[in-house]
Amino acid sequence: MAGRLLLLGNEAIARGLVEAGCAVATSYPGTPASEILSAVARWKAETSAPMHVAWSVNEKVAFETAYAASISGLRAAVSMKQVGLNVASDPFFSAAYLGVTGGFLVVSADDPGPHSSQTEQDSRRMAAMAKVPVLDPVSPRDARELVAPAFALSEAFGIPVMLRPTTRVCHASQDVPLGEVRPLGRRADFRKEPARWAATPVHRSRLHRELLEKLSRIASYEPTAPRRINPGVNGPRAVVASGVAFAHAADVLDEAGLMETLAFYRVVQPYPLHPAFVERLLAEHAEILVLEETTGVIEGQFRDRGKVRGKESGAVPEAGELLPETIEGIVARFARRKRPASRVPKEAPGRRPTLCPGCPHRASFMAIRKAAPKGIYPGDIGCYTLGTNLGAVHTVLCMGASIGQAAGFHHAYRQAGQDVDTVATIGDSTFSHAGVPPLVDAVVQGARFTLVILDNRTTAMTGNQPTPQSGRGALGEATAEVDIEALVRGCGVTYCRVGRPTRFPEFLALLKEAVAYARENGPAVVIARDPCLVDRAPFEEPAAPRRMTVSEACDGCRYCINRFECPALVYDAGENRVHHDVLLCSGCGVCAHVCPKKAIVEAPDA
Amino acid sequence: MPDRTRRAKGPAPRGPGSGSSPEGTAGGGVRQQIVVSGVGGQGVLFIGRLLAEAAIARGLPVLASETHGMAQRGGTVIAHLKVGSFSSPLVRPGQADVLILLKEENAASHGRYLRAGGWAAVNAPSAPAALADAASRVVDADALARETGLGKAVNLIVLGRALAGPPGGEGAGAGLFCTPDEIRSILRSRLARQDKILDASLAALDLGITQAIPARHRR
């Protein structure tokens, strides 16, 4: 099997992009989409394909950068997670009207479950709302193979095309055959056509009609039409599936011997669904089961839904991941089969995630609780969302919202004549992504709160991608560095200090000063700067490890376990005391400042 | 664009015309479903990938599924691995042939993946109660890792235990689809030019297989 590599779905999509001559690829990291762009960068380096590959500051900017390449005639792609598409929705909806020149793919990765997201939203609904065709890959191999036809579709109709993988495609891995990388050698050639690229409302009406006309032709485009999996099986019942739900259903039907009973179809392009397919199914079958994630996009396009079983009919759950075991039960009911008796117990809840041992965010959160003990703590999206475990994050809405919400809490309390200390946290990457406009607004509106920018100069949660402060790009190349303090001061903030949370006593003093300043003045910003311990290229090495131990003064109160939650601190119920797990301890020494009994100390022999 | 072809099956009963192997894949009959379970930071995904690459090296088709994102920060992490002809990357509960547990406490949540007659390799001082119905191979990998200073390689110690085969030895049921030598060779190619990590990894694997601490690793 020479030429087959074990690839994640995301790496397979990346390979497909590079093979298909994509010239510009951009992204902002977000689970489950993050590995797409890093893999594009790797394939580009390996194959020397001429490309611009970049981590953008956010999904909107990523979209606009790639789109400009497309309207210059080049193939381009932008990748993001589903909630990233919300951020990029403004250019996305408009670009559907204007159309494209070079093939343009919007890869929006959904997260049914959700495993690592705020919502389970279905990007295919966004595609339908924007009136853009969307393709639904079933596996890593299939995802790679869909990229070239998606570019071809985009160029055939001059329209953006969405590729919509889900977590179980992105983070599945498979033996994937590689194709040749063939750069297209196109020159950038933007044709100035203001009535299109700068269309005023009068032109937009015409563009909208053109878009609708494109869509109706795409709905009968043969290469993306639904596929019949078991031709010759003509029962009264048919199963229609797309995405990974198709892959689960294929195994379930196969193993239950139902491939000879139920007609089985795969939908490649859930929107627009081919009307000829809908008509044929309604004519040939008495009952049609639709299996798809996460909402009934295919189901909703059946003209006559009397025969259709799916999410909207109640046959398939509307929330949560559509797991193979769930599909097994649904298919058995649909086929009027008794479901095989199962002695499998329900899954017990697993261990919740927590900040890594030695993570500097843990120290920041402890300082925040001590500096403003009765405060409101708006939080944000990143590893530090886990500050919820430590009682130091009270809200998590969306990227950048900690700052807008902190200002909002100030105004809500103030207008009622109340005072509250508000301390918001945001990472450096998230601050650059969506934190600057709300900080400008907070300054203008005189909102009094403290903002702690957790600055580790990396996008840690998604795999340590660079930030605008890192000074390196997607390929590891040197880039300009944006000075975060200058940026904060440029927003009009008058109090901006830098501290190291792992030097705990000094950091706590600084934070108290900031909280006091914010009470009387406007927003105060503290930049909490320490390296991420899982970053393989940290901006500086963490401080030398200290060997910590727990003295006889420990009375087993478990304050450190419950309020500090470092995985390296372990409670021994037998001895009723805490000790350090030496395999896990990073030696940051911050725990010494946690214990109310002062029982955690540096080992005397160290 | 891909055309979905029907997949060859192993022991499951097959209907007429459900034949042909996927194009270009060898090793027709092998079908094995494996679940690797632990917590973020233990290297669950690394074990999953070693096994997946061993499958590819054998010319077998392979599908796997990983946990990414927030759960990798110390939360429960699971990797599904399906060797042979499958479409879905997920193992259904009650279908796993082998369960590799890097964290004993996960027996309660992930023991349910084992099929009747399947077996487990478990990092624990003794067989966990939650797996009372299943045959298990136990190794106290945390203790071995502490004794030998191989703290970062608990995952490979447990994989070594799994490679040593099911309880009861030869003939007691199917072992893993691959051999220790195949995993060693994958480790050598993945960790080329990282001699220290490679040596520690190979030592951890052997430690799991033999459960005997060689003199040079005693502390």
- Please give the pLDDT value at position B28: 56
Whose tokens are 């608990």? That residue is: B154
Is pLDDT of B181 > 80?
A: yes
Q: Copy the structure tokens of residue A35.
A: 């590995």
Contact B42, B103 (CB under 8 A): yes
List all residues of chain A from 303 to 362 with a beta carbon under 8 Å from chain B.
323-325, 328, 342-356
- Chain A within 8 Å of B55 (Cβ-Cβ)? yes
H-type helices in chain B, by residue range?
44-57, 107-110, 141-148, 154-163, 180-190, 195-210
What count of residues does chain A have?
606
List all residues of chain A from 112 to 151 with a beta carbon under 8 Å from chain B.
115-116, 138-139, 141-142, 145-146, 149
Asked if residue B179 belongs to a domain, the reply is yes
DSSP-assigned letters across all residues of A104-133 = EEEEEEB-SS-SSSS----HHHHHHHHT--
- Please give the pLDDT value at position A341: 64
* Beta carbons of A171 and B65 less than 8 Å apart: yes
Residue B13's pLDDT band (cuts 50, 70, 90): very low
* pLDDT per residue as tens digits for the range A124-170: 999 999 999 999 999 999 999 999 999 999 999 999 999 999 999 99
* Beta carbons of B93 and A115 less than 8 Å apart: no
Strand positions, DSSP E, A24-127: 24-27, 52-55, 76-81, 104-109
Q: How far apart are CA A165 and CA A9, in angstroms?
A: 8
Contact A393, A425 (CB under 8 A): yes
Cβ neighbours of A452 (radius 10 Å)? 29
Contact B103, B75 (CB under 8 A): no
Asked if residue B6 belongs to a domain, the reply is no
* Beta carbons of A349 and B109 less than 8 Å apart: yes
* pLDDT per residue as tens digits for the range B45-92: 999 999 999 999 999 999 999 887 777 777 889 999 999 999 999 999
- Please give the pLDDT value at position B132: 82
- Please give the pLDDT value at position B68: 78
What count of residues does chain B have?
219
Distances in Å between the Cα of A322 and the Cα atoms of A114, A316, A345 are: 11, 8, 18
- Please give the pLDDT value at position B165: 87
Q: Copy the structure tokens of residue A115.
A: 């495993």
β partners of residue A6: A175
β partners of residue A548: A602
Q: How far apart are CA A390 and CA A78, in angstroms?
A: 36
Domains, chain A, with CATH or none: 4-223 (3.40.50.970), 225-334 (3.40.50.920), 360-529 (3.40.50.970), 548-602 (3.30.70.20)
Asked if residue B12 belongs to a domain, the reply is no
Is pLDDT of B22 > 60?
A: no
- Please give the pLDDT value at position A549: 95
For chain A, list residues with pLDDT below 70.
Answer: 1-2, 340-345, 606
Asked if residue B162 belongs to a domain, the reply is yes
Asked if residue B40 belongs to a domain, the reply is yes
Contact A576, A563 (CB under 8 A): no
SS3 A322: coil
Q: Which domain holds residue B90?
A: 32-217
Q: A58: Cβ–Cβ under 8 A, 6 or more apart, which residues?
A: A28, A84, A87, A399, A432, A433, A434
- Please give the pLDDT value at position A537: 87
Q: Copy the structure tokens of residue A13.
A: 């999509």
Is pLDDT of B25 > 60?
A: no
Q: B36: Cβ–Cβ under 8 A, 6 or more apart, which residues?
A: B44, B47, B48, B51, B78, B79, B81, B100, B102
Residue B209 sits in a domain whose CATH number is: 3.40.920.10
List all residues of chain A from 239 to 298 with a beta carbon under 8 Å from chain B.
244, 246-248, 250-252, 254-255, 257, 259-260, 266, 268
* Beta carbons of A386 and B70 less than 8 Å apart: yes
- Please give the pLDDT value at position B20: 33
Residue A569, phi then psi, degrees to nearest 5: -100, 120
Q: How far apart are CA A520 and CA B29, in angstroms?
A: 74
Domain count of the fold of chain B: 1
- Please give the pLDDT value at position B15: 31
Asked if residue B77 belongs to a domain, the reply is yes
Asked if residue B133 belongs to a domain, the reply is yes
Contact A289, A334 (CB under 8 A): yes
Q: How far apart are CA B68 and CA A231, in angstroms?
A: 38
Contact B157, B144 (CB under 8 A): yes
Contact A163, A133 (CB under 8 A): no
- Please give the pLDDT value at position A332: 96
- Please give the pLDDT value at position A343: 59
Contact A78, A26 (CB under 8 A): yes
- Residues from chain A that touch B59, judged by Cβ atoms under 8 A, are 1
Counted across chains A and B, CB pairs separated by less than 8 A come out at 180
* Beta carbons of A383 and B70 less than 8 Å apart: yes
- Please give the pLDDT value at position B6: 36
SS3 B138: strand
**What does pLDDT average to over chain A?**
95
Is pLDDT of B134 > 90?
A: no
Asked if residue B13 belongs to a domain, the reply is no
Contact A109, A81 (CB under 8 A): yes
**What does pLDDT average to over chain B?**
83
Q: How far apart are CA B12 and CA B9, in angstroms?
A: 6
- Please give the pLDDT value at position B219: 52
Q: In this complex, which of B14, B71, B89 lies closest to A353 when CB atoms are compared?
A: B71
H-type helices in A235-323, by residue range?
243-255, 275-284
Interface test with A, best of B47, B49, B92 (most A CBs within 10 A): B92
